[in-house]
Amino acid sequence: MSGIESPIKSIISESKLFMSENQIDGWLLYDYRGMNPIFWDTVGQIPNVTRPCWLWIPRNNDPCLLVSYVDQNRFEHLGIETRFWVSRNDMVSSLKSLLKNAKYIAMEYSPLGNLPRVSKVDAGTIELVNSLGPKVVSSANLLQYATQRWTLDQLQTHLKSAEILTETVKYAFNSIGENIKSNPTEYEIAELIRQTFFEKGLETPDGPVVAVNAHAADPHFEPTPENSVAIKPGDWVLIDLWGRLKGNTDNMNGDITWTAYVGTNVPQKNLEVFNAVIGARDSAIQLMEDAHSKGIYLEGRELDKVAREHIKNLGYGEFFSHRLGHSLGREVHSNAVNLDGWETDDTRTFSPGLAVTVEPGIYLPGEFGVRSEIDVFYFEDGPKVTTEIQRTPYLINV
């Protein structure tokens, strides 16, 4: 994909290649007032588009835009043939003409809504396209192949972000120890992390999670001045932080979670749960590596299963309450395969050019929670962890 000047040209080229190998006649991207972000990821952000718009990418012909006459000048810079409609009947007639030779068309649709990141087009629009003759199939694998694989330049932005995240989480833990006598709160440490991000040129839409003891049993606990507690010796601390370099929407995110103990002697139960979590994490990584050595690309649900079974066999299955990991990209939660056979049934494969998080967790209500999150990029020669791997609880000296 490198060496192509325009992102949309690259996406069109890659999508045609995928469709040729998978008996799909074309990819029909549709949007109305932002309902389908995948449309805008493909064409680029264009302001003030007020009417339904379509991008048709046929397997064996040039792409074509179908947009309202009202929005005619919004898409000129793309250099793609554009047709205009002026009424509902005109739009349907033009759409039928575009699709007349197609049997199977990919759209942002997921049967039974199984993959919410893909289910972006409303049921009525799917019915409309089906009524014109073609059969609509899911674009899940197509859009993953054409839009979600990273270039080497994008990988470098992720690696830099990951480095900053690791430096920051250790800095936050050390700051807790250095300031323990002043009773630092979860919220104050979260503010410290946000300030560090600002100084180091990292941006994030939200977070981080800074959670102590029972708060760590809430996977997405968000500390506020009102709900945060002071951190003291003997506490268990979970920090989840994510972000990407500022300055370019094409930069890729990093996302990590570490856990620490304020003191030197970690309680046996905390250590037992921690070891169960990292064992599940490492079992998924081992399965990735083994599959690659055999020339096999695994589905997201298969990787989720091995980690979930590891935790279940240790007696903590009911306390692992979310998927194993998610797609990573321009957004922290991106549009490629999730490592998930729990919240959804993700049959997409983890394959070269894609990145995911691996983050099993065990959450004991009223006690504490443990999550260990790393990032993995699938290089051409196999999947590799791109973030530092936590092996033992981080000890905060006091």
pLDDT of residue 299: 98
**Does one domain contain both 43 and 89?**
yes
Our measurement of the distance from residue 284's CA atom to the centroid of its chain's CA atoms, rounded to an integer in Å, reads 18
**Does one domain contain both 227 and 138?**
no
292 exposure class (CB count in 10 Å sphere: 0-12, 13-18, 19+): buried
Q: Give residue-wise pLDDT tens across range 298-323.
A: 999 999 999 999 999 999 999 999 99
User: Does residue 355 lie within any of the structural domains?
Assistant: yes
pLDDT of residue 4: 30
pLDDT bucket at 3, cuts 50 / 70 / 90 = very low
**Does one domain contain both 193 and 299?**
yes
**Does one domain contain both 138 and 160?**
no
pLDDT of residue 68: 98
Task: Give yes or no for residue 79 having a pLDDT over 90.
Answer: yes
**Does one domain contain both 261 and 276?**
yes
Q: Give residue-wise pLDDT tens across range 326-341.
A: 999 999 999 999 999 9
pLDDT bucket at 5, cuts 50 / 70 / 90 = very low
**Does one domain contain both 138 and 277?**
no
Tokens matching residue 271: 């250590």
Task: Give yes or no for residue 212 having a pLDDT over 50.
Answer: yes
Instruction: Give percent of the chain with pLDDT exceeding 70.
Output: 98
Q: Give residue-wise pLDDT tens across range 182-200.
A: 999 999 999 999 999 999 9
Q: Where does a domain end: 116, 147, 178?
A: 147
User: Does residue 135 lie within any of the structural domains?
Assistant: yes
**Does one domain contain both 218 and 113?**
no
Task: Give yes or no for residue 395 having a pLDDT over 90.
Answer: yes
pLDDT bucket at 6, cuts 50 / 70 / 90 = low
- For residue 84, the domain's CATH number is 3.40.350.10
Q: Work out how many domains the chain is built from and give that number.
A: 2
**Host domain of residue 315:** 152-396
Task: Give yes or no for residue 373 having a pLDDT over 60.
Answer: yes
Instruction: Give percent of the chain with pLDDT exceeding 90.
Output: 96
Closest CA to 11 of 34, 38, 46: 38
Alpha carbon distance 152, 149 (integer Å) = 10
pLDDT of residue 300: 98
Q: Give residue-wise pLDDT tens across range 226-278.
A: 999 999 999 999 999 999 999 998 999 999 999 999 999 999 999 999 999 99
User: Does residue 342 lie within any of the structural domains?
Assistant: yes
User: Does residue 1 lie within any of the structural domains?
Assistant: no
**Does one domain contain both 203 and 254?**
yes
Q: Give residue-wise pLDDT tens across range 61-74.
A: 999 999 999 998 99
Q: What is the mean pLDDT of residues 161-173?
A: 98
User: Does residue 31 lie within any of the structural domains?
Assistant: yes
- Counting DSSP H helices and E strands in the chain, the numbers are 9, 16
**Does one domain contain both 296 and 387?**
yes
Q: What is the mean pLDDT of residues 99-118?
A: 96
Q: Where does a domain end: 147, 168, 188?
A: 147
User: Does residue 15 lie within any of the structural domains?
Assistant: yes
**Does one domain contain both 13 and 139?**
yes
Alpha carbon distance 283, 373 (integer Å) = 13
3-state secondary structure 119-181: CCCCHHHHHHHHHCCCEEEECHHHHHHHHCCCCHHHHHHHHHHHHHHHHHHHHHHHHHHHCHH
Q: Where does a domain end: 117, 147, 177?
A: 147
Average pLDDT, rounded, for the chain: 96
pLDDT of residue 1: 33
**Does one domain contain both 307 and 188?**
yes
- What DSSP line would sit under 217-236, residue for residue? GSTT----TTT--B--TT-E
**Does one domain contain both 275 and 389?**
yes
Q: What is the pTM of this model?
A: 0.94
Residue type, 226: E
Task: Give yes or no for residue 296 having a pLDDT over 90.
Answer: yes
User: Does residue 2 lie within any of the structural domains?
Assistant: no
Count of other CB atoms within 10 angstroms of residue 361: 27
- For residue 200, the domain's CATH number is 3.90.230.10
Our measurement of the distance from residue 98's CA atom to the centroid of its chain's CA atoms, rounded to an integer in Å, reads 33
pLDDT bucket at 7, cuts 50 / 70 / 90 = confident
User: Does residue 57 lie within any of the structural domains?
Assistant: yes
